[in-house]
Amino acid sequence: MKIGFIGLGIMGKPMAKNLLKAGHELVVHDRAVAPVSELVAAGARAASNGKEVAQASDLVITMLPNSPHVKSAVLDEGGVLEGMAPGKILVDMSSIAPGAAQEIAAELAKKGVDMLDAPVSGGEPKAIEGTLSIMVGGKEAVFERCRPLLLQMGASAVLCGDIGAGNTTKLANQIVVALNIAAVSEAFVLAAKAGLDPETVFKAIRGGLAGSTVMEAKGPMILAGNFKPGFRIDLHIKDLANALETGHEIGVPLPLTSQVMEMMQALKVDGKSGNDHSGLVQYYEKLAQFEARRRP
């Protein structure tokens, strides 16, 4: 299949590489030169804008930071919409506001183009492995056409409802992840300042009810003080902002989400917004004046 891919960041680049490995023809575009060159060296073809990507592809994937970026890439002059023909499909795998996905889909529909909103979870490691969890919104028939392709980037792809449902599901996911990281951080700092080795505590509780995928992925990073980004704090701030906005629009208070949002905002003020979201532990460490690190 001829696939267009726009957005070659931490997540998009490995996802695009997995599509190349699966044997697809790939046309790519990104404002950054380096990842485009890397994909071209791996066998892709570069395009100068979204319109050119769409003209050369049967299906276009966008993987961009937030709603305004996707709207611009699709709807602006020289964007994807201009190069789309009836019957083509846009799969937006960015994490954006559900309402923005619905707005973009409505504009595409005027031209006979279908869309799926299909955000992902799993961070850079699972993007590299091709084992992402993919949450999808859109028509069932379109989803079934795209499902084999999605499963070349992910371990699972679940249709959650109509357009916007994928991103609503992703917001729910991001709430659970954020609160889980906060809980792990709070627990590890407590254990460390109480005189315990937090790594021993981790080993003791990981197999019980407190154990989780988040703890397994982020616990070792916290214990090592390794906050190299797989998923940056500033991106999680963006997702929580979309969650809070959506909650307010439909009348769902999100008190715990707002608490973690303020913790992340505090880290942003401290210049740590580029850290991995496991760096949330630094908020607790600053309050307690004690680091939760494994003992040498």
Residue 196, C-beta contacts closer than 8 angstroms, at least 6 positions apart: none
Could you list the active site residues? Answer: 170
Q: Which residue has the tokens 């499963």?
A: 151
- For helices 198-205 and 165-193, the axis angle rounded to 10 degrees is 130
Q: How far apart are CA 216 and CA 278, in angstroms?
A: 11
Cα→Cα distances 59→89, 117, 145, 212, 290, Å: 5, 13, 11, 36, 51
Q: How far apart are CA 90 and CA 100, in angstroms?
A: 14
Q: Which residue has the tokens 């850290």?
A: 275
